Amino acid sequence: MVLYSGEFYFFTMKILAAGCIHSNSTLIESLAEQAEKENVDLVVLCGDLTLGEQSTDNIVGPFVKKGKKVALVPGNHETVATAEFLAKKYGAVNLHGYHLKHEGDNGTIGFFGCGGANIGMFQLSEDEIFYTLYKAHKGVKDAAKRIMVTHVHPKDTLIEQFSQFVKGSHGVRKAIDVLKPDLLLCSHVHEASGLEETVGSTRVVNVSKVGKIIEV
């Protein structure tokens, strides 16, 4: 994998996606070992990296030590500033409002994202969630595959039914309906960890803290 002009270039691509790691050092080390064992090209962290910003230690570093590139979004347990701090410190990419392009055998793979949620310390309105995704998507709209990365899950999905307290996002759902990404990676609902479903033409995966290997 080569980093060039803000873009990663691959012949093939394997992703380890996880979220809701909440500064759990044991979990993070295990995920980093999995990333190394599976020889992934990119680690995607779908928010709630910390537990109320109590600590930012050993969150991204273990993956970098294994030679892995990392893209991330903040969750509702940390701010954009904290996500940006982690990205700059470890050479990762903060996808909140931004995009990332990869060149694969079958064309460009584009990532775009929005962190935060409709609850918690980093709370966004549904309009803010949608327009953050809409803006970020502009950079990858012509990609052969488009992967949307959020913390919160979409409204009116199976994922939402796993919690009475954690509601899905109208903004994320609108982004699926309007932008039609190929894949959505999210977390937020711990009880729905690993759950996959299809919304319209979009594959939706709640990666949560167990992590998920995805090939694109």
Conformational region of residue 19, where left means phi above 0, alpha means psi within -120 to 50, and beta covers everything else: beta
Could you tell me which of 94, 86, 92 has the C-alpha nearest to residue 149? 94
The pLDDT score that the predictor gives to residue 199 is 94
The pLDDT score that the predictor gives to residue 32 is 97
Q: Which amino acid is residue 129, in one-letter code?
A: I
The pLDDT score that the predictor gives to residue 10 is 42
State both tokens at 184: 């959505």
Residue segments in the chain with a per-residue pLDDT below the cut of 70? 1-12, 158-165, 190-194
Query: What is the assigned CATH class of domain 2-215?
Result: alpha beta
The pLDDT score that the predictor gives to residue 44 is 98
The pLDDT score that the predictor gives to residue 190 is 61
